[in-house]
Chains A and B, each alone.
Chain A
């Protein structure tokens, strides 16, 4: 889901950055208000976890590859604004050090994976787990579903961003200037791939980690985030 340089028009990249600047500002403010100093080491591990999980490319035999993100897990445990900051740091580092995701479209990639993904997943989790006990089965099932829905919606959004490119930006003879595939191809490829295969990585790991923490230390699950 890391859109590379050249696949999005400069206008799309500018819109992405323009949307993310206020999001990052609010995120810094919210984290300043709510994150406790003793939770900071967990946020650092969480960012490391998101980064390393994205290195596990999962194959569709004979097809494409994809990976989980882990952003919803961070949102459940430390709040969606803290997750936004942690995943943003991971994405910027991936773009700058590893060329994974374009530098021109850092704003768009952060919108998809550091904003849409943790927030959608977090609110799905909150909705399903509302009123449940911190140690209940409903909690870890809600976490799994949140992880799955978060990444699938983020992939759908990325598919739309890629798919609108040939509609607006092409040469006089119809050749695309940026992503060459329209919505009819990009949306099924991005949303479908994540709904069928890659989304389940986030389902399983989000559910498993929450279940593990229910036994070990339900401190995170009791906090009213």
Chain B
């Protein structure tokens, strides 16, 4: 088996394990990453929502395809199995998009080097 194939199998295993990235923080009652809070969390933390955050936080995120690697409207569903399933689909979609872009960009840039 080629090394590339082995590496892709490794990526496949990681994709299946990604729900751990939701389940463990939930189990250990850990919140958002520092500095990545939603407006209502900031309201609780500092007592007000800074104007820039109020205006700009609604600019894109809610319009993205999978906000927070979840299907739209699934964010209050149970982490297991619903959000975990969405997380795996998000991982597959993200990897398909990213590896295709990098592959074609890389081929384009490296076309003269063999």
Contacts and interface: CB of A to CB of B under 8 A. Distances in A.
Interface of A: 1-7, 9, 28, 31-49, 51-53, 55-67, 82, 85-86, 89-90, 93-100, 102-104, 158, 162, 169, 171, 175-181, 186, 189-190, 193, 216-217
Contacts of B46: 176, 180-181
A98 B53 contact: no
A190 B36 CA distance: 11
26 contacts: A2-B36, A3-B36, A5-B57, A5-B59, A5-B60, A6-B54, A31-B106, A35-B109, A37-B113, A40-B107, A44-B106, A45-B7, A48-B99, A49-B10, A52-B15, A52-B18, A53-B14, A55-B90, A56-B14, A56-B17, A57-B25, A59-B27, A97-B97, A104-B59, A162-B35, A216-B3
B109 to A, nearest CB: 5
B8 interface: yes
User: Which 5 residue pairs spanning A and B have beta carbons closest together?
Assistant: A59-B30, A99-B61, A6-B56, A6-B53, A40-B106
A190 B43 CA distance: 20
B34 A190 contact: yes
Interface residues of B, number: 70
Contacts of A7: 35, 52-53
Contacts of B7: 42, 45, 49
A35 B79 CA distance: 41
B68 A97 contact: no
A56 B34 contact: no
A178 B94 contact: no
B11 A52 contact: yes
Interface in B54-71: 54-57, 59-62, 64-69
Interface of B: 3-4, 6-8, 10-11, 14-15, 17-18, 20-22, 24-25, 27-36, 42, 45-46, 48, 50-57, 59-62, 64-69, 87, 90-91, 93-95, 97-103, 105-107, 109-114
A17 to B, nearest CB: 15
B103 A44 contact: yes
A68 to B, nearest CB: 11
Contacts of B56: 5-6, 102, 104
A98 B67 contact: yes
Given A37-B111, A57-B21, A103-B60, A52 B35 contact: no
A84 to B, nearest CB: 12
A64 B8 CA distance: 31
